[in-house]
Every structure is written in C-alpha cells, then in structure tokens.
C-alpha cells in the first residue's frame, strides 16, 4: 500500500532522514493540516516535519470567513459580527445576518494555539530553515533546504509556485492589495456588532477601491484600505487614504487614535487554473494550490475543507486526491467578474451596488461560498446589469467554451 511502510521508521532517526509527513510552510494551509492531524487518532503519532523560514507566531494578518455550520474552531475566533454594511454609488446598505456569522481569526493566535498543541507530541518536529526546492524520487517527495535534505512519502507545500506556473493560461491577473491599521480611539465611534464588509464610497483613484472596517470594541477596530488592480502602491499612499477615511467617516484626526498594529497583504485575483501537484508526492496546498477564490480573496474555509479531505485520505491509506475548489460554472462566474473588474471600474461599482441593494446578504454570502443552486444564481444575476456580463462572456469565450 502507498502508506503501509510508514510504520517501519524508528522514532529516533536523525533529523536528516525520512519522515512520514512533511509540511513545508506554516501559514494557514500548513497549520490547518496539522490541526486535523492532531485530531486524528490514526495520524497524530506519525513522524511529521514542519518546515518554514519562520515559525514564530506573529499577529500580522486577520483571516475572516462566514459560516453556517460549526467548524470546531470556535476557540480561535477573535470576534464575530451579526450585521454587515456595504456602501456603493453613494448609498449604504446594512443587514442583520440570519444564516451566517462573520468571524475573524488572528493568524498569530491561530498559529500559537496549533503549534503549542503540536509541540506536546515528540513525533512532530518544527524546523526554521529556507526551502530551496522540491522534487520526487523513488516514491518520496524530497525537500531541499538550507538545513539539509528531507523526504517523506507525502509532502504538503504552500511556499513555492509549481514549475509550470508562469506558463499556465491566464487572461486576467489582478491583485487584491491592502494595508490595515488596528486602531484604538480616544472616544467611542464604532459598533462592535456591525462590520463594514465593503465601503466603495471612497475615491476610486487606482482601481476598484473599498474600505473594510472590523470593530472589536466601541473604540477599537481594524481599518483596511483595499484595491483591485495590477500594481501595488507606495505604503504611504495606502496609509494616507486610511487617515482620510477616519477623518471623513468618523471625524477622527491623528490625535484621536493610536495605531496598535499594522497588517498588509497582496492576494492574487487570477483566472488561471492551479496545479494540485508540484510533482509526484509533493502536493500544493493553500494559495499556491489554487484555494484562493479569485474574485474575493477568501481562502480560509477552502483550506479547512481541503485539509479535511487530505486527512481523511491519509487515514484510509490513500494518496490525497482533492477536488477542484470551484466547479466549472463558478469558474466561469469568476472569469466574467474578473474581466469586468479589470476593464470597467464604473460598471463594477454599479454591480456591487445592485448586488447588495437587491439581494439578501445571506444569499450573497451563500453564492460567494459557492453553495447556491443554479436557479438561485440566475435570480441573483437577474438583479444585475446584464450587458457587461454578455460582453465579458464574449471576451472570455476562448476560455469559457474550452473548459474554463
């Protein structure tokens, strides 16, 4: 069996040797695989190596998701919101969710909790080192690092793009890039029960732009300036826009708040298909495995779904065979919207305006989660301007009619 020889390895072998499982990358994807392994009686005693250039938990990212079912990760949730607000074309729409909660998790809290649990087991090793490359050899995945060569029958990696990444078919390649400030104000200005999901009622200077506000108390919130475009800005440009938003939306001057921490990111928004396997025995996970939804950037729930599939396969001594993150029709929807975001910023804002004005927020979230029926999707599309989508279909027909 593909998995049967694992039990032959002695637990006191030297570090530069074989492991049962190697996880290269200690971000959300790698940590979540560890989390589900720790919950598996069949796998938690396997000899596991976790590699990354830095494994020290730092709260420099916030992962958000919405859920209608319990993911058994409530202990990690930093804050939840039951009400969302969206602004576009000078209007504002708010709604209390009935099916979902909108949750956020701090990456440092998530990492610290999982790493601390994993370090209680002597069979799991964490090593900080630079990862050079991956290859397959004699039924093993091989990881070349600055600290030596490591191999296992299965390697999960989230640090390097696949060898054919630059040659893969892509028509639209945007970036969702942002800088956020977590601030504490000298007076109460926020509603900790309501998150500003997207506020497009801001200057649209460099692409489709919105503000994102996650209040955790009446005087604390994470405020992010986000753009969909193909070019990053100077850090000062993002921060100047945050200052302007705080002044115009909340009447806060720089003397009225302290910046507790900052975070920034650049998430790919591309219509390419990603390879599941880097090479034989080395599996791509997380963003490099194509788990980021191209039109939203949300990845966290997809990572959990993939990790559960992976661990289930390993428990059954099977090589993981994870299904694509999106079905054909949702890949087509993403391609259409990406094309519009790339070519017509004004229409993009109208689409967001009509989407949230004419549809229940819960249904929109279910659609973004790709759990709607085709009839529900047609109902949603009927509320939007249709000509831009027909134009997008025509422009992307070479992809849409050849399997997306």
Phi, psi of 60 (to 5 degrees): -120, 10
Q: How far is CA 215 from the centre of its chain?
A: 20
Cα–Cα distance measured from residue 285 to residue 159, given in angstroms and rounded to the nearest whole number = 9
Domain ranges (residues) in the chain? 4-54+106-168+271-315, 173-270, 328-400
pLDDT in tens, 350-389: 999 999 999 999 999 999 999 999 999 999 999 999 999 9
Q: pLDDT at position 2, please?
A: 45
Mean pLDDT across the chain: 92
Helix (H) or strand (E) holding 378: helix 374-381
- Would you state the CATH architecture of domain 173-270? 2-Layer Sandwich (3.30)
Domain 4-54+106-168+271-315: give its CATH superfamily. Answer: FAD/NAD(P)-binding domain (3.50.50.60)
Tokens of 83: 């009400």
| Residue scoring higher pLDDT (400 or 4) | 400
Which two tokens mark 330? 């949702």
**Residue the block writes with tokens 């997008």:** 392
More confident residue, 146 or 10: 146
Cβ atoms of 146 and 240 within 8 Å: the answer is no
Hey, is 115 helix, strand or coil? helix
pLDDT tens column, 37-64: 999 999 999 999 999 999 999 999 999 9
393: left (phi over 0), alpha (psi -120 to 50) or beta: alpha
CA separation for the pair 150, 146 (Å, rounded): 11
Asked whether 160 and 133 are in contact (CB, 8 A), the reply is yes
């Amino acid at each position: 069996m593909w998995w049967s020889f694992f039990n032959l390895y002695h637990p006191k072998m030297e570090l530069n040797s074989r492991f049962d499982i190697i996880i290269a990358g200690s971000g959300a994807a790698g940590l979540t695989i560890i989390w589900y392994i720790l919950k598996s009686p069949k796998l938690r005693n396997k000899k596991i190596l976790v590699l990354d250039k830095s494994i020290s938990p730092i709260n420099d990212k916030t992962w958000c998701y919405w859920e209608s079912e319990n993911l058994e990760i409530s202990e990690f949730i930093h804050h939840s919101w039951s009400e969302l607000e969206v602004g576009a074309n000078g209007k504002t729409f708010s709604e209390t969710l009935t099916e979902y909660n909108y949750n956020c998790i701090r990456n440092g809290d998530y990492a610290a909790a999982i790493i601390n649990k994993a370090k209680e087991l002597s069979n799991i090793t964490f090593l900080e080192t630079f990862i050079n490359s991956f290859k397959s050899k004699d039924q093993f995945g091989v990881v070349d690092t600055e600290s030596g060569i490591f191999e296992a029958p299965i390697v999960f990696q989230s640090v390097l793009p696949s060898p054919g990444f630059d040659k893969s078919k892509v028509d639209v390649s945007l970036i969702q890039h942002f800088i956020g400030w977590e601030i504490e104000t000298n007076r109460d200005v926020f509603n900790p029960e309501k998150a500003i999901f997207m506020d497009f009622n801001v200057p649209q200077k460099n692409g489709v732009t919105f503000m994102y506000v996650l209040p955790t108390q009446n005087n604390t919130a994470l405020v992010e300036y986000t753009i969909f475009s193909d070019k990053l800005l100077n850090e000062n440009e993002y921060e100047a826009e945050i200052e302007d938003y705080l002044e115009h939306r909340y009447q806060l001057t720089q003397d009225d708040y302290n910046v507790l921490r900052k975070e920034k990111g650049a998430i790919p928004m591309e219509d390419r298909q990603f390879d599941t396997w880097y090479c034989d025995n080395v599996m791509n996970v997380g963003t490099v495995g194509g788990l980021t939804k191209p039109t939203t950037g949300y990845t966290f729930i997809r990572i959990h779904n993939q990790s559960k599939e992976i661990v289930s396969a390993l428990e059954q001594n099977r090589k993981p065979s994870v299904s694509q993150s999106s079905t054909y029709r949702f890949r087509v929807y993403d391609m259409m919207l990406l094309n519009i975001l790339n070519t017509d910023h004004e229409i993009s804002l109208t689409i967001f305006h009509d989407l949230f004005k004419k549809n229940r927020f819960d249904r929109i979230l279910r659609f973004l989660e790709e759990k709607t029926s085709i009839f529900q999707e047609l109902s949603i599309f009927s509320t939007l301007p249709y000509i831009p989508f027909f134009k997008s279909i025509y422009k992307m027909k070479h992809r849409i009619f050849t399997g997306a």
